[in-house]
Structure 1
């Protein structure tokens, strides 16, 4: 715990913006999803947990100041230390605790592109934010191109990379025996329309493909942990896939018909999903349509009706 506290202090000293946020009021809530499987809700992306006699594994880690609370929540499930940390992608609300957990001895695992992005200073235009490179202790030490499997606690955690979805380094994590799938931020459930980080290689087509991949992995009756929002079912993931495909098709049809961005937004491609997805979330319906239009317009250039 002393090592974690020192790592947190170092990280906050380097990031004044983070120090301005009050994490003292954040409560880490624990929900058991299946035997040996849980999800932690706090501030940032949902944390998956594999716990048991072989050691604990967490999937994502939210923000550095929350590390002691996250450790306490994991200990409420099983007293052993955290052995592995899997990052589903590089964003700070999923990797902010990397330094703290790496300093404490957790082995960090992620896609090759996660290490590449965490290793470099980045100006994130979408957030108008300068992001400093992650210190060595917080970088993944085990990386992969396509996938990797971790065999612990009587289950196989199958980690699968999906191309250019939310980012260019997304991974899905599946407990094959428990039939639980963590989708990371390739799946936003109820809380907001999905955020697609096109600066980091994300795309609407990749998001649709990632949902389809997830549907091919999780079996009927299984549980799905989204990056943000409550635990879902396979049927919820199917509905999410269908929503993305429907909105994309409507935006593409508008572009082919020669409509402007404003006209496509005004046509309300998201109307069928009112009440099913929060309209006041981080990504509003209009913002999601706008981003989809901006992405598809160059791809469909020359195909619009003249």
Structure 2
């Protein structure tokens, strides 16, 4: 089993480069993450073929952003997400090895810069960028984060096709049903279901084997996150391959385990909130302690997951 991903070098790397698209949120580091100068990483992308002409791409050698999906064939290349901005050249090299160039359609699963960091480069190269209405609006209204703060999103990085509920691509002999899930990881999440291939790209609606990051500041919610996961669960069977936003390629069983963990975790925290405990008292009680070994990782520890659940339940 691969080691859990680390974000220890993510923020120094993406912020120091100050490229056109960095992380779409300025987030404080999680407790316990060493803020050491980031060495130049030797990061590349590895591909896993899930069906003929349909691949999952994931970073190896360091943090490369979220997991990507690629559909190739006679109708062109459809790419799902595009990773961190410093690694666009490495991504293009990996696509070239698959014969997946040029990218004609780029689907963004949500607004975070570790998933849309290559938008500007690919947009300038002619890719048609597709995303939910709210994702585009956030980029227009809020811009993107760089080492110097927020800057306007470059026009080439903006989605040019947006949708409110769903859109279906009919390319390369397969259909890709792209649908919105409300107030889940963010308020602009998209899930992609390759129905003919029994493959689902969940974006950050699934952190496989990891505590999830639910971005309350960008419209996410625990209720919406669980509802989105259950919607995906209803589409899956025992043979479904689920590409998570982060973590290893998942199964329906993995998704069911993630749902059970989050529901139980929220129940534990809710019981303490209902008992009148303060945030400090709840954190001191460490209600998710027995989940830590299996689910904690560098960015979302049990403590940070507890903080998210408290805030979601109380609004504070």
Please say whether Structure 1 and Structure 2 have the same fold, judged by a TM-score greater than 0.5: yes
Deviation at 1:16, TM superposition (A): 9.7
Match of 2:104 in 1: 83
The one-character-per-residue Cα deviations of 1:96-116 (angstroms, maximum 9, x if unpaired) are 100100111111000001100
SS state at 2:130 partner? strand
Match of 2:278 in 1: 260
Q: Under a length normalisation based on structure 2, what TM-score does the superposition of the two structures give?
A: 0.82
Deviation at 1:128, TM superposition (A): 9.8
SS state at 1:149 partner? strand
The one-character-per-residue Cα deviations of 1:252-303 (angstroms, maximum 9, x if unpaired) are 11111112223323333323434321x242011011101211220249xxxx
Match of 2:262 in 1: 244
Contact 2:183 2:225 (C-alpha < 8 Å) held by counterparts: yes
Specify which of 167, 178, 181 is matched with residue 186 of structure 2. 167
Unaligned runs of 5+ in 2: 1-16, 24-36
SS state at 1:184 partner? strand
1:292 and 2:313 aligned: no
Match of 2:244 in 1: 226
Specify which of 32, 40, 47 is matched with residue 57 of structure 2. 40
Deviation at 1:21, TM superposition (A): 6.6
Specify which of 168, 174, 178 is matched with residue 149 of structure 1. 168
CA distance in 1, matches of 2:126, 2:249: 29
In structure 2, the CA distance between the partners of 1:178 and 1:15, relative to structure 1 (3 Å rule), is closer
SS state at 1:33 partner? strand
In structure 2, the CA distance between the partners of 1:201 and 1:13, relative to structure 1 (3 Å rule), is closer
SS state at 1:185 partner? strand
In structure 2, the CA distance between the partners of 1:175 and 1:16, relative to structure 1 (3 Å rule), is closer
Deviation at 1:223, TM superposition (A): 0.7
Q: Under a length normalisation based on structure 1, what TM-score does the superposition of the two structures give?
A: 0.85
Match of 1:96 in 2: 117
Deviation at 1:136, TM superposition (A): 0.9
Deviation at 1:75, TM superposition (A): 2.2
CA distance in 1, matches of 2:20, 2:219: 27
1:30 and 2:51 aligned: no
Higher RCO (C-alpha under 8 Å, 6+ residues apart): 2
Contact 1:174 1:218 (C-alpha < 8 Å) held by counterparts: no
Match of 1:115 in 2: 136
May I ask how many residue pairs the two structures share in their alignment? 283
CA distance in 2, matches of 1:231, 1:283: 19
Specify which of 273, 288, 296 is matched with residue 270 of structure 1. 288
CA distance in 2, matches of 1:254, 1:30: 44
Unaligned runs of 5+ in 1: 1-10, 300-306
Deviation at 1:215, TM superposition (A): 0.6
Match of 1:54 in 2: 75
Contact 1:121 1:130 (C-alpha < 8 Å) held by counterparts: no
Match of 1:138 in 2: 157
CA distance in 1, matches of 2:119, 2:163: 18
Deviation at 1:121, TM superposition (A): 3.4
